[in-house]
């Protein structure tokens, strides 16, 4: 395994704040569009009783869907959200390969656990006690958050004796020692 520069709480928090500012700006625009054209009287009439519950429920559902899709899509394809890119950190699998869809889904759905009891307290405790600075979602998804520089530096397979070298069955790329996934195509080995 290479020498990754694992990222702890500070850079994660800064990236999360940037991402939340972006997401809340989008959600505010959606809310403004939803409410545009309604006078106070018609708004009060339309949002009385059960209608109010449906509107709030719909907004919360849309908010949650966009929130999770933002993180899942960006991390699975690029390893970085806008906040992570600004902080120069990246999500990769423990072997250094691309995060991929399923690990991104798992690590982001488990944000619900990491946020417990409030304000990511459990996640911060787990990060502080982990050798690889992983939160619960990272441990289960087998992902790590590393500096962009250490994520892009290739791990040298030259130190492995030639008889022990392995190659990806799908694309033929030489695999790094102990790699469970191909660093080029992401195929499980």
**Tokens 């399923």 identify what position?**
102
Half-sphere exposure for 23 (CA within 13 Å, toward CB)? 19
Per-residue pLDDT of the chain (189 residues; tens, 9 = 90+): 457 899 999 999 999 999 999 999 999 888 787 667 555 555 555 555 666 677 778 888 988 999 999 999 999 999 999 999 999 999 999 988 999 999 999 999 999 999 999 888 999 999 999 999 999 999 999 999 999 887 765 444 444 455 567 777 766 777 777 777 666 656 667
pTM (2 decimals)? 0.73
Distance separating alpha carbons of residues 30 and 111, to the nearest angstrom: 24
Distance separating alpha carbons of residues 181 and 141, to the nearest angstrom: 14
Residue pair 107/133 in contact by the 8 Å Cβ criterion: no
Residue pair 3/150 in contact by the 8 Å Cβ criterion: yes
Residue pair 142/130 in contact by the 8 Å Cβ criterion: no
């Amino acid at each position: 395994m290479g020498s990754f520069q694992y990222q702890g709480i500070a850079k994660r928090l800064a990236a999360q704040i940037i991402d939340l500012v972006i997401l809340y700006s989008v959600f505010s625009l959606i809310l403004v569009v939803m409410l545009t054209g309604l006078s106070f009287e018609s708004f009060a009439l339309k949002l009385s009783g059960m209608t109010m519950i449906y509107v709030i429920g719909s907004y919360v559902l849309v908010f949650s869907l966009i929130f999770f899709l933002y993180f899942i899509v960006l991390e699975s394809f690029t390893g970085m959200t806008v906040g992570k890119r600004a902080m120069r950190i990246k999500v990769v699998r423990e072997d250094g390969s691309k995060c991929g869809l399923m690990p991104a889904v798992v690590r982001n759905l488990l944000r619900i656990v990491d946020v417990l009891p409030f304000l990511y307290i459990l996640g911060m405790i787990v990060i502080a006690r982990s050798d690889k600075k992983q939160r619960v979602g990272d441990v289960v998804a087998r992902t790590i958050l590393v500096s962009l520089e250490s994520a892009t530096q290739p791990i040298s397979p030259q130190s492995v004796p030639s008889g022990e070298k392995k190659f990806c069955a799908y694309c033929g790329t030489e695999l790094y020692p102990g790699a469970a996934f191909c660093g080029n195509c992401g195929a499980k080995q």
